[in-house]
Amino acid sequence: MRRIRIEYLPTPLQRQFHQAESDEVLFGGAAGGGKTKAIVADSIIKCLKHSHVAVYVFRRTYQELEDVLIPSALSLLPEGTGKYTAGDHEILFVNGSIIRFRHLYMARDMFRYQGAEINYLYIDELTHFTKEMYDYLKTRLRASVHLSITPQVRATSNPGGIGHAWVKKRFIDAGPPLTEICENQFSPHLGKERRHTRLYIPATVLSNPHISEDYVFELEKKPENLRKALLDGDWNTFEGQAFPEWRDECAGYADGRHSHVIAPFEVPSGWPVYRSFDFGYAKPFALLWWAVDFDDTVYLIHEWYGASDANVGLRLSLDEIAEGIKRRESELFAGRTVSGPADPSIWDMSRGASVAEQLEKHGVYFQRGQNARLAGKMQFHYRLRFDEDGHARFYVFSTCKAFIRTFPAMVLSRENPEDVDTACEDHAYDAARYFLMSVPTVTAPKQKQKRRMNPLSEPKKTDGNRFLSL
């Protein structure tokens, strides 16, 4: 076989990216780590190594492909090995392999690739894509037996974007970096089991010797959230985060100081309990239960998040949802009257009996929630603010995993930067917004407030099993 030289000297982490055999690999986490160069180099290497393979490289827009990825790929393409056709955005190699540069801006654009056979799938800036987009593209991932290859997914990303929550859950929170995550899948049709693997390889500008020190100094001048995301690859805070004041600090779980997430405690009998609801079928539904103390501090004490996967609904019937609500409230809040707001759209009767009406047949009632998006968003800002003593007026029990996962990942809309991007997994956020609008507050106090009853000073703790077991 003829040796072909590529003018490319990979960093140690880029080399690990190229050598990884995992089914899915995410590379990056910070700016300047050499993500773009790695992804285009890897796609070219695959095409040179294997004949007649189809490689797809995705960004959200063609403009991003033309400005960054395609020029980078052409700079690495060895002379005489392939030809780029600008009109088709494709590199056709002399051995019959092809790289197709493609965009996926809207969800409906997925179906343009319904008949595609993707042997190797590359996605640049994965957090700009929804989980639905990612999953659909993976359904096109296949290869004929005669190619003798194993289809793979390779992606890069910085923190932030509409897909931040699901990418973080799938690659970052799944296990330690540089450690392969293994899952076994059994096929009832084939009668056999196979192992599926994925890997996260973090890289920062400090791991890339090809970047000058000037770039590091430039990143260090950025605002704190942007600096943490781009320089440190911090997935817990990032530029464009809708609620940068959110804190989840284990040190504050016991007393609620400088942490919005706290350890569960027994809710005093004198506190009213409410529920709020954002309906979903194909998408998740979110049912949240709240307690409010005598000082107007709200506590998210229990959740039922109807999801089978990130942003994928359980497809439960309204009968099942109603019975699930009644069972939880009979076990958790026996003797209490519980009601609260819901998405106003559940009163829509344009297609027959409304969702609200069908729930009421089971004795489950809601009030019509206020859907003022900007006013609702401001209620979070008012309550999340800490006073001089480090206490807020919005707390979440550490057992409410779905809210804790999705709320910090809310990003601002590009079209309306005062609002949350509705493409996010915003169901728990919306349910919480309806509730906060039902108990509105003015700006949070900046000074320490004397509280009539503070459950976080000497609370009656619980291990949370009552909440987790339902």
Q: How many CB atoms lie within 10 A of CB 366?
A: 23
Task: Please state whether beta strands 152-157 and 394-397 pair in parallel, antiparallel, or not at all (unpaired).
Answer: unpaired
Quote the pLDDT of residue 460.
52
| Cα 448 to chain centroid, rounded | 35
In 221-367, where does DSSP find H-type helix? 224-232, 318-332, 355-360
373, amino acid identity: R
pLDDT per position as a tens digit, 288-320:
999 999 999 999 999 999 999 889 999 999 999
Quote the pLDDT of residue 465.
38
Determine the Cα–Cα distance for residues 354 and 331; give it in Å rounded to an integer.
28
Determine the Cα–Cα distance for residues 215 and 231; give it in Å rounded to an integer.
10
Quote the pLDDT of residue 239.
77
Determine the Cα–Cα distance for residues 306 and 324; give it in Å rounded to an integer.
11
How large is the angle between the packed helices 35-49 and 12-19, nearest 10 degrees?
Answer: 40
pTM for the whole thing? 0.79
Contact at 8 Å (CB) between 462 and 299? no
Determine the Cα–Cα distance for residues 122 and 141; give it in Å rounded to an integer.
11
Contact at 8 Å (CB) between 79 and 48? no
Q: What percent of the chain has pLDDT over 90?
A: 78
Quote the pLDDT of residue 228.
81
| Average pLDDT score, the chain | 91
Contact at 8 Å (CB) between 53 and 149? yes
Instruction: Return the H-helix or E-strand segment holding 344.
Output: none
pLDDT at residue 443 is higher than 70: no
Total count of residues recorded for the chain: 470
pLDDT per position as a tens digit, 207-248:
888 888 888 888 888 887 778 888 888 888 787 899 999 999
pLDDT per position as a tens digit, 87-121:
999 999 999 999 999 999 988 999 999 999 999 99
Q: What are the structural domains, with CATH classification, of the chain?
A: 12-232 (3.40.50.300), 250-468 (3.30.420.280)
Q: How many CB atoms lie within 10 A of CB 263?
A: 20
Quote the pLDDT of residue 238.
80
Q: Which long-range contacts (CB under 8 A, 24 or more apart) does 140-146 make?
A: 140/56, 140/113, 140/114, 140/116, 142/117, 142/118, 143/53, 143/117, 143/119, 144/117
pLDDT at residue 469 is higher than 50: no
Contact at 8 Å (CB) between 174 and 181? yes
Please give the full DSSP string across 374-390, using - where no structure is assigned.
Answer: HHHHHHHHHHH---TTS
Contact at 8 Å (CB) between 66 and 86? no
Which position has the token pair 């976080």?
456
